Structure 1
């Protein structure tokens, strides 16, 4: 058998392999197309539901309501890729969902509300405490220059980091640790979002918040009703606080060390 003949056969085998891969890719794309279209429809419907909620929430949002930039961020973020069961009809329903290990992904309207209240601008550096699935961090990433997010549960931190990396959220950094102490090396922060309930805002987070910045978090005991609270830092040693809505979040988890 000549080397030239062996080369021809190898080339034919390679061409057949490439052809098979192209066919498989096209078939996969064709199969995914209906799901992608459904996800787009469900996501758009979710945004309209959020709009409707916002119109009836003047006490929380004021007359300005939800900004178009926040609504666009909600529409651009593929929530179904951040939940265990990647079903569009389930993922875009306006309700919280379990993500395992006793944690939840918040109701979309609450995500939008917290994002609006924290008033993120394009040049902001934002801290999120309680990464969970990574969904809130992804929404913030559409609005901010940089998002630093902390998760205390290793499995969730690892999964969220992978999801965010796979979806090319290059302006998000995920850290495994106790969020009570914040992330000084990543700050100071223009805005802070805390996605778990505690009796009062952690002093280290207030310290890492810039003057003029805002912290939004549920204040109160876990597994019951809390007050969604906005803390604004108006001077280095002075803040104002207001409660805007009743919510239910999982309790803030601390390190045992």
Structure 2
């Protein structure tokens, strides 16, 4: 069964819009785990617009106590600043099970593209080594069918990555328009190439209950999906417990991922 990691960034966005401690990010994450989620994802940004360093520390303790995966996302090249010690410093302190490296800039509303491995692989190599020294599995955010195809994925593997996370935003857009077949072929091709290069495959961004099953039926060997925005939006209507269980029902109805 493909694992479900719930991204709780949007809980922190709501909290920060008012100040104070409500809604409680750790309580929300615990409810997701109680409902059966396999892990928790957060993406702390240098501007602390949602998840803050103190949230990372608290969620690391929660996931460690529960014995589930903590997936910490971020840009390893973003410098430290007040309130943000830097991604590698956070990882050295909390030692998450997985770190997903993402090439986002400070001004981006959300992550919207993968790494250019032809350009970035060598710069990533020592950072990946440092993260693996902390005991972290390392995943790299990747576009489907990148410009250099299989060669890019081989560069990612040679740099020391364990997995890629497919940026699924373009698929979600195509699914809304009802013409996802060509996009799914691109994602399936990239997943096969990644596995041939020795990389595991994760996926995330704009996946929802409406489009998840079609994606996983078409794209082979997806080990984990990270879902936040859609899941939290759906939970406004269905509640967190019901929404998480809805996703798990979809995942449980599909053949197990191999990898």
Greater strand fraction, Structure 1 or Structure 2:
1
Q: Which structure has more RCO (C-alpha within 8 Å, separation ≥ 6)? A: 2
TM-score, normalised relative to structure 2: 0.33
TM-score, normalised relative to structure 1: 0.33
**Bigger Rg over Cα:** 1
